[in-house]
Structure 1
């Protein structure tokens, strides 16, 4: 395995299912910002980006060598436009050969490699998840707000100009 960036942003979701595309779209926007540099030369150079339709046990390999991981996924919870929640390994949760939960992924990592990197779930509220639908106006606004917060957390203001 080659050198990995200390931070991974992993967008989860199906781009063909309306607001479920939030995770991959946020990663796509970060990819567009990766080459932008501030006057002091800083940017998003220490961040790797990844997308997939769902978390799978083998994604534990993608966490190796990281200091922090941000999982970005759409949420149907109407209580907030987005939330950022620290995650811990959770044994006994759903984990199969085809998919797993965020806590289940960290449990797999723990069993294989020991203590996982600091991991957060950035859940962004969506409202329409129909096959073939586009991103809703609500999801677009929530995605923009979540992206700005994530850029702040990543220590970069490259996307705020």
Structure 2
């Protein structure tokens, strides 16, 4: 399993993905941080069987709401992940991989609804709490997957 934290660590709630990935890497999991540029994302998951992405998103609900998306089964709307400055971001990368037949068969996205994406701000309290929940959930899932 490769875990990808997507976002900008200095843009408020956009740091949710990078912070979660760093905490999971500290627990010994295969986790990296990417800025959300689509070509880099596709390259990162190329040839992998299981991908987990954590990203701040406009997923609906109040800040800190976590939406779990099975991207292998559900098409992604680019409007949901519009906080990236990249025109070719997460949603576009997933859908391009799907169209090319290269999307990993197990592909889960944890989309955390953000509130403030201002440069220089830190995570809002609700998003910080959501990051902790997501980290625990992914760590527990990884631990169960390793059990015989």
Q: TM-score range by the shorter chain?
A: 0.7 to 0.9
Q: Which has the higher helix share?
A: 2
- Specify the structure having the higher radius of gyration (Cα): 1
Give TM-score scaled by structure 1 length.
Answer: 0.70
* Unaligned segments of structure 2, at least 5 residues: 80-85
Structure 1 residue 78: Cα displacement: 2.4
- Alignment match, 1:121: 109
- Alignment match, 1:20: 14
> Per the alignment, in what secondary structure is the counterpart of residue 124 of structure 1?
strand
Write the distance in 2 (CA, Å) between the matches of 1:91 and 1:145: 23
| Pairs within 5 Å for 1:53-72 | 53-72=35-54
Structure 1 residue 90: Cα displacement: 5.0
Write the distance in 2 (CA, Å) between the matches of 1:92 and 1:24: 22
Does 2:133 match 1:139? Answer: no
CA contact (8 A) 1:19 1:134 kept: yes
Does 2:68 match 1:84? Answer: yes
| Pick aligned residue for 1:108 from 78, 82, 96 | 96
Give TM-score scaled by structure 2 length.
Answer: 0.76
Over aligned residue pairs, what C-alpha RMSD do you find? 2.7
The 1:107/1:150 distance shift into structure 2, 3 A limit, reads same
Q: After superposing the two structures, state which structure 1 stretch, 48-57 or 12-21, moved more.
A: 48-57
Tell me the number of residue pairs that the alignment of Structure 1 and Structure 2 aligns.
135
Write the distance in 1 (CA, Å) between the matches of 2:135 and 2:77: 32
- Alignment match, 1:159: none
- Alignment match, 2:82: none
